[in-house]
Amino acid sequence: MTPIKVCLASTAVVVTALAGLTADPPPSDDSHRRAVAKADAADAQARPWAEKDPLRPAYHLQAPARWMNDPNGPIFFGGRYHVFYQHNPYGTEWGHMHWGHAVSRDLVHWEHWPVALAPSADRGEEHCFSGCCVDRDGTPTILYTSIGPKTPAGSGAVQWLATSDDGMRTWRKHPANPVMTLKLHGDLKVKDWRDPFAWKEGDDWFAVLGGHREGGKGCALIYKSKDLIDWTFLNVLMEGTERNWECPNFFRLGDKWVLLYSADDKPRLAKYYTGTLTKDYTFRPEHHGVLDHSPTFYAPTTALAPDGRRLLWGWASVKGDGWNGCLTLPRVLTLRPDGRLGIEPAKELERLRGSHAQLVGSISGDFTVGRPGVEAQEIRAKVQPARAKVIGLRYEATKDQVAVPLATVHLPGKQVHAGGISAPFELLPGETEVLLHAFIDHSILEVYVNGRTCLTVPLAVMSGERRDVTLAADDDVTYDWEMWTLKQ
Catalytic residue from among 53, 70, 192, 292: 70
CB 331 within 8 A of CB 343: yes
Nearer to ligand FRU, 147 or 440 (CB): 147
Residue 148 Cβ, how far from ligand FRU at the closest point, in Å?
Answer: 13
Residue 215 Cβ, how far from ligand FRU at the closest point, in Å?
Answer: 20
Residue 244 Cβ, how far from ligand FRU at the closest point, in Å?
Answer: 9
CB 314 within 8 A of CB 298: yes
Nearer to ligand FRU, 110 or 298 (CB): 298
Cα–Cα dist 369/363, whole Å = 12
Nearer to ligand FRU, 145 or 453 (CB): 145
Cα–Cα dist 122/27, whole Å = 8
CA-nearest of 113, 56, 59 to 83 is 113
Residues that bind ligand FRU (CB under 6 A): 69-70, 86, 97, 129-130, 145, 194-195, 246-247, 298-299
Q: What does the CA dihedral 223, 225, 231, 232 come to, rounded to 10 degrees?
A: -50
Residue 299 Cβ, how far from ligand FRU at the closest point, in Å?
Answer: 4
* DSSP notation for 249-288: EEEEETTEEEEEEEEESSS-EEEEEEEEE-TTS-EEEEEE
CA distances in angstroms from 202 to 8, 205, 224, 225, listed in the order given: 19, 8, 12, 12
The answer to whether 70 is a known catalytic residue is yes
Nearer to ligand FRU, 86 or 450 (CB): 86
Nearer to ligand FRU, 88 or 163 (CB): 88
Pairing of strands 331-335, 341-345: antiparallel
Residue 476 Cβ, how far from ligand FRU at the closest point, in Å?
Answer: 45
Angle CA(387)–CA(390)–CA(393) in degrees, nearest 5? 125
Cα–Cα dist 438/459, whole Å = 12
Q: Catalytic site residues?
A: 70
